[in-house]
Structure formats: structure tokens, C-alpha cells
Amino acid sequence: MNRRQAYEAAQRRRALSVAGVSTAAVLVAIVVLVPLAPGWTAVKASFFDGGIFVQTFPTMLRAFLIDVMIFAWSVPLILGLGLAIALARGAQAPALFPLRIFGAVYVDVFRGVPVVLTIYLIGFGVPGLGLPRPWNSPYIWGTVALVLTYSAYIAEVLRSGIESIHASQRNAAICLGLSPRDTMRYVILPQAVRRVVPANMNMLVALQKDVALLSFIGPVEILRQAGIYKSLLANFTPYVVAAVIFLCVTVPATRYADHLLNRDRDARS
């Protein structure tokens, strides 16, 4: 080991120990200081009741399966519609101009309206037109609301991906004799989609959380189940249970998205 390496190793050790000490100091401060707050016992009893945690956990987990189900059938619909909207917005032919307008209006409207409002309006409004069962199910129209909102976001992400592909790629494809359709399908989209995978992963994590908003129109999924327990037990611990269950899913998903992002950056640099 030469002097320079020895110096760098020492610097690293020093940085590590400083980081360790400061992290420990913050943790100790939280663990020691928070319970000193005058209301801590009341907060602890209301939010961190071990008995209630154990009692409600199995039902909460079962309610979470409804969230997972809604998520699972929403994602393919969102990706499909999002891609269609992105392509509509990017349509080049003059005759397709109305399609571009439609895409732009669609994205503006559904990105601009809060998800909850879309869920309310579509979840109660459309079935109110007089649809027979089972076609008026809140599951169906809640899903439609989620798909409309999230496909607008995904469309924008995909469009930015498509626009980030250098014009030389398109020109090269034309030189090879590919039709505009094949250019998009075999040259542009594969690169664009790969480039925006991390951003889309973030959208999916957000979607996983927003699925809980469907509880507003009836389904007893995890957020609503927590609300029911809160009301029956006059205790907020079930919300903590819900948060823990959500974190178990969303933390690995965000970590994976970060991993993809890093890999993508490394590959490009």
C-alpha cells in the first residue's frame, strides 16, 4: 500500500466513524427525547398498542390483498392505455392532428384532477346512469378512474422517453428502409421504454398507494379496514399496521427502481 492509498483508507475510516456517530446520536435523541414529551403515553396508547396490532394484523393483511388485486389488474391496462396516449400525442401525420389534440387534452385533464375526485366522479357518477349489476360495481369504475389518471402520467413519461431517442436513430431506420410504423416499433420504442423504466417504477409505487383511495367508494380494502377498526376500538394503531404493510411492499419496490436507475446511469456513462 503506497502512501496515497493509506491516506485514502484513513479518510474512508474517518468518514465512516463520523457517519456512525452522527447516526447513533440522532437515533438516541429520538429514542430518548420523544418519550419525554408530555403527551407520549397518550400517543403511545393511541398509535402503538401492541395488543391491537396483533389483533388486527391478520384482517388487515387480508384487506391488503384487495389492494394487490386492484393493482394487479390495473397495471396492464394503465401501461396499454398510457402507450396508446403517448403514441397519439406523438403522431406526425397531419391527418392525425385531432388525435394529438385529444392526447394533449386527455393528459392535461387527468393529470390536473386529483385522483380522489376522479374516483368519486367516475365511481359514483357512471354507475348512477343506471347500469345493472354487476356492471355498476365500485371495483370496475374505481379501476377505470385509476387507469384514466395513471395512464395520463405514464403517457407523459413514455413520451419523454420517445423524445429522448436521438434523431439519428430515426434517420438510420429510414435509411434501412423501415416504415414509420416499424421504425417506432423496432427502433424507437424498445430504447425509449428501457430508458423510462425507473420513472415508471416510481409511478407504480405511487399507484400501489393510491389504490387505497378506492375505499372512498365502498370497497373494504386496507385503508377502510383500518378506519373501521379505528372507529370500533377508538385507536389509531390499525393505521400504523396499514403503514407497515404498505412499507413492506413499497420499500423493496422503490429500492428496485433506484437499482434500475443506477444501472441505467452506469451503463450510459
Contact footprint for another protein (CB under 8 A): 39, 42-43, 45-47, 124, 127-128, 130-133, 136-138, 215-220, 224, 227-228, 230-236
Smallest gap, in angstroms, from Cβ of residue 79 to another protein? Answer: 28
* Least distance between another protein and beta carbon 234 (Å): 4
The residue written with cell numbers 398509535 in the block is: 47
Distance CA 34, CA 88 (A): 54
Of 221, 223, 216, the closest CA to residue 121 belongs to: 216
Measured from the CB atom, the residue of 84 and 220 that comes closer to another protein is 220
The closest alpha carbon to 253, from 191, 193, 198, 195, belongs to 198
- Residue linked to cell 385503508: 223
Of the two residues 128 and 180, which places its CB atom closer to another protein in the complex? 128
Q: How many CB atoms lie within 10 A of CB 183?
A: 18
CB of 11 to another protein, least distance (A): 47
From the CB of 133, what's the least distance to another protein, in Å?
7
Q: Cβ of residue 131: shortest distance to another protein, in angstroms?
A: 7
Q: Nearer Cβ to another protein, position 83 or 213? A: 213
CA distance 30 to 114: 35
User: How many beta carbons lie within 10 A of that of residue 89, not counting itself?
Assistant: 20
**Are 118 and 149 spatial neighbours (Cβ–Cβ below 8 Å)?**
yes
CA 49 from centroid of its chain's CA atoms: 30
Please give the span between the terminal C-alpha atoms of the chain, in angstroms, as a whole number: 29
**Angle at alpha carbon of residue 65, lines to 63 and 67, rounded to 5°:** 85
Residue 96 or residue 233: which is nearer to another protein going by CB? Answer: 233
Shorter beta-carbon distance to another protein: residue 175 or 234 = 234
The nearest distance, CB 32 to another protein, in angstroms, is 20
Nearer to another protein, 57 or 216 (CB): 216
Only one residue has cell 389534440, namely 101
Least distance from another protein to the Cβ atom of residue 258, Å: 34
Residue 103 vs 219, nearer CB to another protein: 219
Q: From residue 161, how far is each of 36, 140, 154, 188, 221 by CA, in Å?
A: 51, 30, 10, 9, 34
